[in-house]
């Protein structure tokens, strides 16, 4: 196999799905397909058998066996019971792929990602909440338990470098047989994991947390990835003591601390003036009451904080207009987005328009906002941040009409 790094990347939400019932080779095939589907949008992707075998390090030359393994991989995908919804009584179920075609005659597999799951493999760098790992390292692991734990730990390899599991969550994520007692989990699950993974997670340690002599939690800790690649350049950035204190204070908010990595702090310093950044971090420290999912979301919080003293309330004048006039006004607003370059004049047109026109544009603006911060539903906190940057998203909504 080509030794050049082949990086698999996907949205962290995929780590909530249990792949424990997949056999070793089925896991290799699935994540090799994910590697090929990464950032390909909804395009139909064709992968030659030869390339898929190379990616997954599949050594068996029997064509029938290979096709059966591909079919078994898809069948188990169908059994994942992937669902999304507000609660246990309101949800939808769907599969990762809209199309999964195996052609033995052409020695080819064709796939197309389901639109509802496009975000799992696309635009993940922009959203910020993603897992990445080297496919070559992944396929080299022998145990399915090791493979699944490898990717679950990789989610935290660039941030806090620890991961704990309640014992029942651990059983579910790895699909450990219900009949297994702790002694059997030690022998058949944890032993392979602790034998395989230390080569990729430096000083990997496992702590069993007990209550009344019963293991209730497993905690994995490590120092970092053991890497033989060329050493990266070290970038040193000097900051003032005032900014340093603001950063350390913000890290004390447990909902923000994991997002404030050195890399993300560097991006914040490059994006904002020091005074604005200090003001925004202080606002985030005081107001954030839920986990910050990605850096884009943190940007919105900081920008809200820098503007919090500039809130203006404007009373809208009621206007009664005929439906025909409303439609004409809507056309004028949309046309203006193409004919005029001024965002201020465009936003003023929106403010002066009738309520019937404003409502659908406002709804579209909220959809664009949720998409940018990587959220699905608008809660009170998101509403607050949206209101602080409402003008920006309303203008975007009008321009895409």
List the chain domain ranges: 1-140, 144-149+158-232, 241-306, 323-399
- Taking the domain 144-149+158-232, which CATH number applies? 1.10.10
Helix (H, G, I), strand (E, B) or coil at 312: coil
Label residue 20 by pLDDT band (50, 70, 90).
Answer: confident
Do domains 1-140 and 144-149+158-232 share one topology? The answer is yes
DSSP secondary structure string for all residues of 240-261: -HHHHHHHHHHHTSTTTGGG--
The closest alpha carbon to 362, from 391, 382, 342, belongs to: 391
DSSP secondary structure string for all residues of 318-340: P----HHHHHHHHHHHHHHHHH-
Q: What is each CA distance from 292 to 155, 169, 278, 353, 375, in whole angstroms?
A: 15, 23, 18, 35, 11
pLDDT of residue 145: 92
For the segment 149-192, what is each residue's pLDDT rounded down to a tens digit?
998 998 888 778 888 899 998 988 888 888 999 999 999 999 99
176 within 8 A of 220, measured Cβ to Cβ: no
Ranges 11-20, 89-98, 298-307, most confident: 298-307
DSSP 22: S
Kindly report the CATH class assigned to 1-140. Answer: mainly alpha
Residue 127 to residue 283: CA distance in whole angstroms: 22
Is a pLDDT exceeding 50 seen at residue 147? yes
The mean predicted confidence, pLDDT, of the chain is 79
Ranges 42-46, 90-94, 231-235, 329-333, most confident: 42-46
The closest alpha carbon to 114, from 26, 185, 20, 43, belongs to: 43
Q: What is each CA distance from 10 to 39, 125, 133, 383, in whole angstroms?
A: 10, 9, 10, 27
Token digits of residue 366: 């909220």
Token digits of residue 6: 């082949």
Average pLDDT over residues 107-122: 79
Is a pLDDT exceeding 80 seen at residue 242? yes
Is a pLDDT exceeding 70 seen at residue 81? no
Is a pLDDT exceeding 90 seen at residue 220? yes
DSSP 181: -
pLDDT of residue 206: 92
The closest alpha carbon to 56, from 112, 143, 140, belongs to: 140
Average pLDDT over residues 129-142: 86
Cβ neighbours for 94, distance < 8 A, ≥ 6 positions apart: 82, 83, 84, 114, 116, 117
pLDDT of residue 1: 46
Q: What is each CA distance from 234 to 33, 259, 263, 339, in whole angstroms?
A: 34, 20, 11, 48
pLDDT of residue 230: 39
- For the sheet containing 45-48, what is the strand order? 45-48, 108-113, 97-103
pLDDT of residue 22: 83
Label residue 337 by pLDDT band (50, 70, 90).
Answer: very low
Label residue 338 by pLDDT band (50, 70, 90).
Answer: very low
Residue 158 to residue 181: CA distance in whole angstroms: 33
pLDDT of residue 87: 57
Q: Is 129 left (phi over 0), alpha (psi -120 to 50) or beta?
A: beta
Query: Of all residues in the chain, what percent carry a pLDDT higher than 70?
Result: 80
Query: Of all residues in the chain, what percent carry a pLDDT higher than 90?
Result: 13
Average pLDDT over residues 63-67: 90
Number of residues that this document lists for the chain? 401
Average pLDDT over residues 8-35: 83
pLDDT of residue 381: 79
pLDDT of residue 217: 93
For the segment 288-321, what is each residue's pLDDT rounded down to a tens digit?
888 877 788 888 888 888 876 544 556 666 555 4
Q: What is the pTM of this model?
A: 0.52
Label residue 360 by pLDDT band (50, 70, 90).
Answer: confident
Label residue 146 by pLDDT band (50, 70, 90).
Answer: very high
Helix (H, G, I), strand (E, B) or coil at 219: strand
């Amino acid at each position: 196999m080509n030794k050049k790094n082949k990086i698999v990347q996907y949205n962290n939400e995929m780590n909530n799905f249990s792949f424990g019932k997949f056999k070793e080779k089925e896991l290799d095939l699935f994540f090799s397909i994910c590697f090929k589907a990464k950032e390909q949008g909804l395009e139909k992707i064709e992968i030659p058998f030869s390339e898929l075998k190379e990616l997954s390090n599949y050594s068996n030359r029997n064509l029938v066996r290979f096709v059966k393994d591909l079919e078994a991989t898809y069948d188990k995908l169908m059994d994942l019971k992937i669902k999304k919804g507000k609660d246990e009584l309101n949800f939808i179920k769907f599969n990762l792929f809209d199309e999964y075609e195996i052609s033995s005659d052409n020695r080819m597999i064709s796939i197309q990602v389901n639109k509802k799951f496009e975000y799992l493999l696309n635009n993940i760098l922009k959203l910020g909440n993603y897992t990445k790992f080297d496919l070559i390292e992944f396929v080299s692991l022998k145990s399915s338990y090791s493979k699944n734990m490898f990717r679950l730990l990789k989610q935290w390899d660039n941030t806090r470098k620890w991961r704990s599991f309640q014992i029942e969550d651990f059983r579910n994520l790895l699909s450990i047989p219900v009949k297994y007692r702790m002694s059997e989990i030690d022998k058949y699950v944890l032993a392979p994991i602790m034998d395989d993974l230390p080569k990729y997670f430096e000083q990997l340690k496992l702590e069993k947390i007990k209550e009344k002599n019963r293991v209730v939690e497993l905690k994995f800790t490590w120092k970092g990835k053991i890497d033989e690649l060329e050493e990266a350049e070290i970038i040193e950035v000097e900051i003032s003591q005032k900014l340093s204190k603001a950063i350390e204070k913000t890290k004390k908010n447990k909902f923000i601390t994991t997002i404030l990595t050195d890399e993300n702090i560097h991006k914040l310093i490059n994006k904002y003036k020091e005074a604005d950044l200090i003001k925004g971090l202080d606002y985030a420290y005081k107001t954030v009451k839920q986990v910050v999912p990605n850096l884009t979301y943190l940007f919105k919080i900081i920008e809200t904080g820098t503007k919090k003293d500039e809130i203006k309330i404007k009373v809208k004048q009621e206007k009664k207009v005929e439906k025909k006039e409303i439609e004409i006004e809507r056309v004028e607003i949309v046309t203006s987005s193409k004919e005029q370059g001024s965002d201020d004049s465009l936003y003023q047109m929106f403010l002066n328009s009738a309520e019937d026109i404003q409502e659908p544009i406002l709804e579209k603006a909220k959809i664009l906002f949720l998409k940018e911060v990587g959220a699905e539903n608008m809660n009170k906190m998101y509403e607050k941040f949206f209101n602080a940057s409402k003008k920006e998203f309303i203008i975007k909504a009008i321009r895409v009409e």
